[in-house]
Each structure stands twice: as structure tokens, then as C-alpha cells.
Amino acid sequence: MSERFGERVRGALREHGPLCVGIDPHESLLSSWGLSPDAAGAREFGVRVVEAAAGRVGVVKPQVSFFERFGAAGMAALEEVMASARAAGLIVIADAKRGDIGSTMDAYAAAWLTPGAALEADALTVSPFLGVGALEGTFSLAEAHHKGVFVLAATSNPEAAAVQRSSSHSGTTVSMSVIDEISRHNAATAGDGEWGSIGVVIGATVDWADAGISPFTPPAPILAPGFGAQGAGPADLRARYGAMVCSVIASESRSLLSAGPSGLATAIDARVAEYREASRV
């Protein structure tokens, strides 16, 4: 890819709207799809989701844990699913939430963001518990290969507050300090008027004021889980993300996947239209 990741996402969102299809081969979904609860079932599930998503949305997000559940065989299934998605022109965000320091973190970045690697994705979700600074090597590797990174910033689950809403002496919440550090990186690396390639994860049901977070520049992709089954819908997009609504990747998994293999494409089409309608308002 000759285009930086941030700009690539910007183009995909313009063309297809914000909907991102989650690839979550949860045991209950494998069962309702009539697939075996093993690596072969997860592979089949993933490939069928990719077929339904291709051409309808710009981005898919495989949930790594549901493949890792089946060990190395599950990871081999994930390799195939990601390769088929990338071959179909979809942007693949590997939702792995990896996080470590130094050469250990660099090895995770190399695993997921090196062109030609078995687990190659277009972007990786990471956790900043060891500090955003510990992710600098990952950011550099991503930028060098025109890949992306999404750093957890503010999540929707209530138990997260104890960590994410703690604050520094100056009163900045952990969530905002993560966003600030990433914005500094993006400001230093994105071209004039371009989007940054290091994005953030901000849950769809997060109240920005409660979380102590505010809009940021330069713009960068915001991965937003929590649409669909977790309660948020297209109408919430603008209410939640305000001025940053154009940057949102609205990820839905179970709400779409529960339509089953035969109904999935239709469910995606309908939801894409709803997001389009809502963004016109």
C-alpha cells in the first residue's frame, strides 16, 4: 500500500460509511451457524463473513481471542481469514489488544504488521497499560509499513473506570493522556491535512465528559466498539462523537452475525443504509 494508513481509512469511510463488521467466531455463533466448535469451524465462519462483507463495508475486525481459543490451529485459521479479507480489499483490524515493552512489544508489532508475516493485518489494537511511550517501537514499525495501530483509550465497560478515569496531578484522566500522547505522535508524522495513522479505541457508549476526554487533532481513526448488541446505534453516532463523527469506525459483531450465514449480507446492507441515513441528518 502506498497510502498511509490514516488516509486509507479516511477513503474507506468516505466510500462505505462507518460500519465495520466484527469477525467473532464465538462458541454460541458457531453453534447457531451449524459449524463445529473448533479451528475448522472458526475458519469457515471467518471466510463466510469475509465473503458477505466484501464490497459492502470498508473494514472488518477479527476478534483474535476467539481464534486463539483453539490454539495454534485457531491461529492458522485466523491467518487464512485475514489473508482472504485483505485479498478482497478489506481493511483488517486484528483486535488482539497486545501490550508489552521493548523488544517484547516489538515482536508483537512484527507478528501482525510486517508485510508478508503469516499473521499480517492492516492494523492491530494495543493496550497502553505499560505506557503509550512503550508503544513507540510499534508506532514506528506501523508507519514504516503503512500500517495502523489502535490504542485503547476509553472503553464502555463500567469496571474500566478505576484505571481509565484515574488522573495525574494536573487532573488529566488516563484516557485523555493516552489520546494526548497519540495526538502528539500523529502531529509529528501525518502530512498537512492528513489523518494520523495511530488511532484510538473509544467505546460507543462512553460519555466523553464523564471520561474526561475531548476532541483531538490531527484527526485519526476512532475504533468504536459497542454499536449493535451493546446498545448504541446509527442515531448515536453524532450525539456521541460530535465533531469527530467522520473519524468513527462503528464496529458491530453479534447484531449482524446473528443473522446467520444466509442472512448476513442482507443484514449488512440494511445496516450500512441506516448509517448512511443517520449521517445525512
In the complex, the smallest distance separating the C-beta of residue 226 from its own copies, rounded to whole angstroms, is: 11
Which residue bears the cell 447457531?
A: 32
Any idea what DSSP says for residue 190?
Answer: S
Grid cell of 51 as nine digits: 465473503
Asked, as a colleague might, if the bond just before 215 is cis with ω within 30 of 0, I would say no
Interaxial angle between packed helices 260-280 and 39-53, expressed in degrees from 0 to 180 and rounded to the nearest 10: 40
**Which residue number, 16 or 26, has a Cβ lying nearer to its own copies?**
26
User: What does R_g of the chain's alpha carbons equal in angstroms?
Assistant: 18
Query: Dmax of the chain from CA atoms?
Result: 54
User: Given 3-state DSSP classes, what are the helix, strand and coil percentages for the chain, each rounded to the nearest 5?
Assistant: 50, 15, 35
Closest CA to 182 of 145, 210, 223: 223
Closest approach, Cβ 95 to its own copies, in A, equals 8
Nearest to 205 by CA among 246, 181, 236: 236
97 carries an active-site annotation: yes
- Which residue out of 56, 86, 97, 254 is catalytically annotated? 97
Q: Please identify, using beta-carbon distances, which residue of 78 and 142 lies nearer to its own copies.
A: 78
Q: Considering only CA atoms, which of 184, 210, 211, 214 is closest in space to residue 198? A: 184
Cβ closest to its own copies, residue 157 vs residue 214:
157
**Closest separation in Å from C-beta 94 to its own copies:** 11
Which H helix or E strand runs over 154?
A: strand 148-154
CB 225 within 8 A of CB 254: no
- Min dist. Cβ of residue 181 to its own copies (A): 8
Nearest approach, Cβ of residue 61 and its own copies (Å): 12
Cβ count within 10 A of residue 215:
12
74 vs 219, which CB is nearer to its own copies? Answer: 74
Least distance from its own copies to the Cβ atom of residue 192, Å:
29
Tell me whether residue 86 or residue 97 sits nearer to its own copies (CB atom): 97
Contacting positions for its own copies (CB under 8 A): 24, 26, 63, 65-66, 68-76, 78-79, 97-105, 107-108, 110-111, 117-119, 127-134, 152, 155, 157-164, 166-168, 173-174, 177-178, 181
Closer to its own copies at the Cβ: 59 or 64? 64
For 157, list phi and psi in degrees, rounded to 5: -70, 135
Residues with active-site annotation:
97
